[in-house]
């Protein structure tokens, strides 16, 4: 892949525990392959404990926190899934504000699987078309979004592009669409 993200820094916002590892690592690698600089942002410093579904997987060093960093430091945002990850993030006001500011600023945001829960909490899905893990369908509709069952959906209706996918099986399409959105 060409260096389409040269000089671009992409935030990966994840809770210290509960992130689906493959939904963190595959987009991370895609950003690196495209010449971008991924940075792991969390609600506390230290290490992130990733999961393979319900089993503990690897740990990753957290680069910065929502307490000290803001969206102005980044060119795009990835919200990995895992059930516990967005469920925790949506209870942390600084994390929700980080996502809201990112989305309303017009910068591209990419969210996979259960990650749209954080978008719902940030109140940024109204009038937009998204996909997600199927169990979020009602939550997204109740928040004013249109839910579709698609491998990847890029919604340009709103301040900035919003890239969403349903599950790990969709990662190839998700990564490609996210890198394309971040490159613009």
Answer yes or no: 113 catalytic. yes
Buried (b) or exposed (e) across 41-68, using 16+ Cβ within 10 A?
A: bbbeeeebbbbeeeeebeebebbbbbee
- Residue 106: Cβ within 10 Å count: 11
What gap in Å lies between CA 128 and CA 155, rounded to an integer?
7
Between the alpha carbon of residue 122 and those of residues 40, 76, 133, 175, the distances in Å are: 20, 16, 18, 23
What gap in Å lies between CA 179 and CA 108, rounded to an integer?
10
Exactly one of 13, 78, 113, 177 is catalytic; name it. Answer: 113
Provide the CA 77 distance to its chain's centre, in angstroms: 6
Domain extents in the chain: 9-183
Q: The domain 9-183: what is its CATH number?
A: 3.40.50.880
**Could you tell me the two tokens for 6?**
């040269």
pLDDT reported for residue 142: 98
Place of tokens 């928040």: 143
What gap in Å lies between CA 70 and CA 9, rounded to an integer?
12
Give me the tens of pLDDT residue by residue for the chain, a chain 184 residues long: 567 999 999 999 999 999 999 999 999 999 999 999 999 999 999 999 999 999 999 999 999 999 999 999 999 999 999 999 999 999 999 999 999 999 999 999 999 999 999 999 999 999 999 999 999 999 999 999 999 999 999 999 889 999 999 999 999 999 999 999 999 9
> What phi and psi values does residue 92 have, to the nearest 5 degrees?
-110, 105
What gap in Å lies between CA 7 and CA 68, rounded to an integer?
21
Is the alpha carbon torsion for 107, 90, 50, 41 positive or negative? Answer: positive
CA contacts within 13 A on the Cβ side of 9: 13
**Could you tell me the two tokens for 96?**
């929700």
Any idea how long the chain is?
Answer: 184
pLDDT reported for residue 3: 72
Whether residue 53 contacts residue 79, with contact meaning beta carbons closer than 8 Å, is answered with no
pLDDT reported for residue 2: 63
């Amino acid at each position: 892949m060409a260096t389409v993200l040269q000089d671009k820094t992409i935030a990966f916002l994840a809770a210290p525990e509960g992130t689906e590892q493959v939904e963190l690592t595959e987009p991370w690698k895609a950003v690196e392959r495209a010449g971008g600089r991924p940075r792991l942002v969390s609600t506390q410093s230290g290490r992130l404990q990733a999961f393979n579904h319900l089993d503990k997987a690897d740990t990753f060093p957290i680069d910065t926190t929502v307490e000290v960093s803001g969206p102005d430091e980044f060119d795009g945002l990835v919200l990995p899934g895992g059930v516990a990850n967005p469920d925790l993030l949506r209870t942390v006001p600084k994390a929700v504000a980080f996502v809201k500011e990112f989305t309303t600023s017009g910068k591209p945001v990419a969210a996979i699987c259960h990650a749209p829960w954080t978008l719902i909490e940030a109140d940024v899905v109204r009038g937009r078309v998204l996909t997600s893990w199927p169990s979020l369908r009602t939550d997204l509709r109740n928040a004013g979004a249109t839910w579709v069952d698609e491998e990847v959906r890029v919604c340009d209706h709103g301040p900035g592009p919003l890239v969403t996918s349903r599950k790990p099986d969709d990662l190839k399409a998700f990564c490609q669409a996210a890198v394309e959105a971040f490159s613009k």
